[in-house]
Amino acid sequence: MVAPSLLQSAISIGAALAMNAARRTAVTLAGYLAAGILLTASLVFLTLSAYRAIDYAIGDVYAALIVGAAYFVASLVALLVMSFRSR
């Protein structure tokens, strides 16, 4: 009769550990999601203000080119970093 109670204890401990890991994962995911939303909002506002400042200084065509080129270079840098990390 000792074996079933030992098995039940192991199952309940395993279930508790799995629930704790799932809760920690959910909290971490929610934190990253909130940070991502805030980062996106700030990037939108910074992009708009940079575009308007450049537009005021030298014109709308150059403003679009400069902001677009900045995002293009940022994406190339991100790809470069990711390629170095995978090696």
Using pLDDT thresholds of 50, 70 and 90, give the confidence band for residue 4: low
- Stretch 48-75: mean pLDDT: 95
pTM: 0.68
- Stretch 61-87: mean pLDDT: 92
So what's the pLDDT on residue 9? 84
Question: For residue 59, is it left (φ>0), alpha (ψ between -120 and 50) or beta?
Answer: left
CA angle 15, 18, 24 (to 5 degrees): 140
